[in-house]
Amino acid sequence: MDRVRLAIVGSGPAGLTAAIYASRANLRPLVLSGVPSGGQLMLTSEVENYPGFPEGIQGPELMDRFRAQAAKFGTRFRDTNVTEMDFSRRPFTLRLGEEGTVRAASVILATGATARWLGLPSEERLRGRGVSACATCDGFFFKGLEIALVGGGDSALEEALFLTKFSPRVTVLHRGESLRASRILQDRARANPALSFRFHTVVTEVLGTDRVEGVRLRHGPDGEESTLPVRGLFVAIGHDPATDLVRGQLDLDAHGYALTRPGSTATNVEGVFAAGDVHDHRYRQAVTAAGLGCMAALDAERFLAEHPDPGESATPGPG
Ligand code: NAP
């Protein structure tokens, strides 16, 4: 059993920034990294918009640096998955399957969210080589190139509109007959001459060997096939926040994102804070997740000062 003042669940930019701040505040945090560790940036190649890296940096290297910085100030890590969280009383209980239990006087939930993918082998093979789930991150790489984008919700149209800053032609491929996106975004999208739509259309294969060269499409009820030559495929069919383990304990919104008090990272459970994409479905950037992680550490520090747990040990346990 490990007894800690602060457990941080998740090791993306939110969790590791929280760890940097919390360890510098002498809270001796324990990061339960999850397997694989590092979050969504581990699946990203070049990151060009993280401040401080004008020449760009590979996503995994950026996360290695976050981790090294947290370790430097005394953060401990357990590279394992949390299998159960019990927030019914303090100290909170986090079970690690066969690998024991952690009791924590406070918890920062930074478990992130995962982008939904179409589930095609060719999509997985070409991820980072023209297939992306983040227009803000990768749109810039498609200057002057034609792009296809899958989805019919608000995210899809926002991303498609953003991509028209770079691409002369963005084709939105939607499986349904009408868009789910809000009217205002639909109007804006339809007024944009660089955007076109294909309805009742699904992507059956991403074409290309080591970079995207096109997509194979199936249309309508009769399953007619065609190919569309594009150099990029953006998938914008939603995200799933990793909140399964806290469902029924933390207040979540209709899409499963952790709710926090306005202007704070505090959840409805005193001593439990939420940061990063597990809470934020709007901005979803490494730098905003890092900012929320910083806020969560400051909130936890204040909470622990005001609510000391008499049983908590300042000495870290094994791990
Ligand atoms: P969403 O509203 O759930 O839309 C997902 C879209 O992807 C739907 O059009 C869906 O098609 C399609 N889709 C899902 N699985 C698919 C698959 N396997 N193959 C092909 N298409 C698939 O998700 P979202 O757009 O990410 O939005 C999530 C929430 O955030 C929504 O409440 C949204 O309003 C909100 N949001 C708001 C804004 C804004 O207000 N500016 C911006 C972004 C997001 P069907 O329509 O056929 O189901």
pLDDT digits over 5-35, tens only?
999 999 999 999 999 999 999 999 999 998 8
Q: Which atom of ligand 1 is nearest to the CA of 116?
A: 15
Q: Name the packing angle between helices 59-72 and 13-24 (round to 10°).
A: 20
| CA 196, chain centre distance (Å) | 28
pLDDT digits over 195-253, tens only?
999 999 999 999 999 999 999 999 988 999 999 999 999 999 999 999 999 999 999 99
From the CB of 189, is ligand 1 less than 6 Å away? Answer: no
- Rounded Cα distance, 22 and 44, in Å: 27
From the CB of 153, is ligand 1 less than 6 Å away? Answer: yes
Active site annotation includes 79: no
In the chain, pLDDT over 90 holds for what percent of residues?
85
pLDDT-derived band at 161 (thresholds 50, 70, 90) equals very high
Q: Name the packing angle between helices 154-163 and 183-190 (round to 10°).
A: 30
**How remote is the CA of residue 154 from the centroid of ligand 1, in Å?**
6
The amino acid sitting at 205 is E
End-to-end Cα, the chain, rounded Å: 9
DSSP state of 145: -
Pocket test for ligand 1, best of 120, 175, 234, 284 (most atoms within 8 A of CB): 175
